[in-house]
Chain A
Amino acid sequence: MEPPPFDQLFERAADKETPVKYLCLVYLSAEKWNACSDSACAAYAGQLQDSGKLIDGKPLHPVHTATTVRVRNGQATITDGPFAETKEALAGFYLIDARDLNEAIQIAAKIPPAKYGSIEVRPTRELVVDPAEVERYAAAAS
């Protein structure tokens, strides 16, 4: 049997799947915190929204407004400040739909603060659940 030529066997896996959600975390240093105006950010968010690729996004208040919560041995510890002191701090996030990492990178590169800070691009995943276990946990918590 003569097999079909290669290009007729072509099937892009991505065309059959839903787009992947990526979280774009925007990090800025204190000096660069105000380098981008809110209007510039709003303009880009609007473009993303129109393209249907924006799921959600928010700017954050500066890092001194952060509070960190940890629970150990049933005790909650509340501390002032971020989970760790870093040179660049979390300034905002975008949750986007993208075909693949290349598209996510292209989107991230156009986020206005990318010129002044760092954008971490992380793929999201779905929780892997066992319904029976979920029920047990839920029951235990109530």
Chain B
Amino acid sequence: MPAPDIARVRAEIDALYRKDSRRVLATLIRLLGDFERAEEALSDAFRAAMEKWPAEGIPQNPTAWLVSAGRFKSIDKQRRDSRFEHLEDRPDVSESLTDQTTAPDDQELLEDDRLRLVFTCCHPALASDAQVSLTLREVCGLTTEEIAAAFLTPAPTLAQRIVRAKNKIRDANIPYEVPAKEDLPARLDSVLRVIYLVFNEGYLASSGETATRADLSGEAIRLGRLVLELLPEPEVRGLLALMLLHESRREARADEAGELILLDEQDRSRWNRAYIEEGEALVREALSSPRAGAYSIQAAIAAVHAEAPTPADTDWREIVGLYDLLLRFTPSPIVELNRAVAVAMRDGPEVGLAALDALLADGELDKYQLAHAARADFCRRLGRNAEARRAYARAIELTVQGPARRFLEKRLAALPVA
């Protein structure tokens, strides 16, 4: 076989791995009933593809081929391992499985094994931080290191957390299924929280040189859409709207060098109008329900920004009002901070600074770099340069290397020397 073709096949397999390996894994978990076996089967399947496809060509349905190959290899392994020899465990593909006993009701509800996987990874019987770590690892394919960086946790601790969660799934027999209809609403909160965390991980990497990771955000949006189809609840709509509205600014958010561009300096012609329209429609629908909550309101705030043709046209009064509403759902210092920034935009930096200093006095925002960055900005606009300098320095201290840190360093350097 001529070399370029082998290279092409390998490139296709790499692309397939990036795009579909999680989907294949989710299906293998369902078929093999075990996370570890499924992961082994996944690597075996891709290895088999590397061996066979250059000669046989790429199959019509590559993911189906991979699932099949992975499954056969795993069952083969089990057969050879005598501990697992059960007579009734001999799967024979030619055995007619179409006359199997009735599938459970929830089978009809969804096609996507990844949704099953999400609900399982977000099971309330698992520790809350384990739910997030497990979903990021199993559904989104993040490495342990990437997850550890996102949560400022040492990688071995994170790895242990995931192992413990998988052990619990196995030992307590947490089933690989979508919850029964009556349990769905409660189980959904868990899932939404995790999806949003994944989106944010893709939107702004916690460390490193790239400001955004496009594939994770796309993944989170796709998951949001799937969940919305299954459960058309206002908060699912709200979360999807929020993600779409944030994502609409992807092209404008960083320059070619990967440097951050703030909202008020972005080229709004580069915003994705289709996403904005979709997001705005979802927000309107979500807010019309009494069950709208924090995600829907945050999406509404994002929508107010999205409809302003220029930064000066931004309706800051409406935004402050929305933050007031948001505080009723999620009273937190961070929401208060964002409200203070909006107040500054509406009423001027002096008023915003007063509000912000009241928050900082409480101590809760002291380790939060955005609080100091905001303070620095207010001081800068008021010409209080020495204070601005101190605040930028503190913010920089708290920011890990990357575009956000470089942005702050530039602002600091731009302050007048006096």
A residues apposed to B, CB below 8 Å: 2-16, 20, 99-102, 105-106, 121-123, 125
Contact = CB atoms under 8 A, between A and B. Distances in A.
Contact of B180 (A5, A101, A102): A102
Contacts of B123: 101
B173 A20 contact: yes
Given A3-B65, A9-B67, A123 B101 contact: no
Across chains A and B, which 3 residue pairs bring their CB atoms closest together, nearest first?
A13-B33, A3-B68, A100-B175
B89 A4 contact: no
B71 interface: yes
A102 B65 contact: no
Contacts of A9: 31, 67-68, 71, 93, 97
B288 interface: no
Interface in B30-85: 30-33, 60-61, 64-65, 67-68, 71
21 contacts: A2-B60, A2-B61, A4-B68, A4-B93, A5-B64, A6-B67, A8-B97, A10-B97, A10-B100, A10-B103, A11-B97, A12-B104, A14-B33, A14-B175, A100-B175, A101-B123, A101-B174, A102-B174, A102-B175, A121-B172, A122-B172
B172 A123 contact: yes
B230 to A, nearest CB: 17
Contact of B177 (A3, A102, A106): A102
Contacts of A13: 32-33
Nearest to B31: A9
A106 B71 CA distance: 32
B125 A105 contact: yes
The interface centre, meaning the residue of B88, B89, B101, B172 with most chain A CB atoms within 10 A of its CB, is B172
B269 interface: no
B179 interface: yes
Contacts of B103: 10
Contacts of B133: none
A132 B68 CA distance: 42
A123 B97 contact: no
Nearest to B101: A15
Contacts of A20: 173
B183 to A, nearest CB: 8
Nearest to A3: B68
Interface string B1-35: 00000000000000000000000000100111100
Contact of B172 (A5, A10, A101): A101
A103 to B, nearest CB: 8
A3 B61 contact: yes
B52 to A, nearest CB: 11
B32 to A, nearest CB: 8
Contacts of A6: 27, 64, 67
Nearest to A123: B172
Nearest to B98: A8
Given A3-B61, A99-B175, A102-B177, 13 more contacts: A3-B65, A4-B68, A6-B67, A7-B107, A9-B67, A10-B30, A11-B31, A13-B32, A14-B175, A100-B174, A102-B179, A121-B172, A125-B171
B91 interface: yes
Contacts of B61: 2-3
Contacts of B71: 9
Contacts of A12: 104
Contacts of B27: 6
Contacts of B67: 3, 6, 9
A7 B30 CA distance: 11
Nearest to A16: B88
Contacts of A125: 171
Contacts of A16: 88-89
Nearest to A103: B175
A121 to B, nearest CB: 8
Contacts of A15: 101
Contacts of B60: 2
Contacts of B175: 14, 99-102
A6 B104 CA distance: 16
A12 B171 CA distance: 17
B3 to A, nearest CB: 27
A123 B171 contact: yes
A16 B88 CA distance: 8
B64 A123 contact: no
Contact of B64 (A3, A101, A102): A3
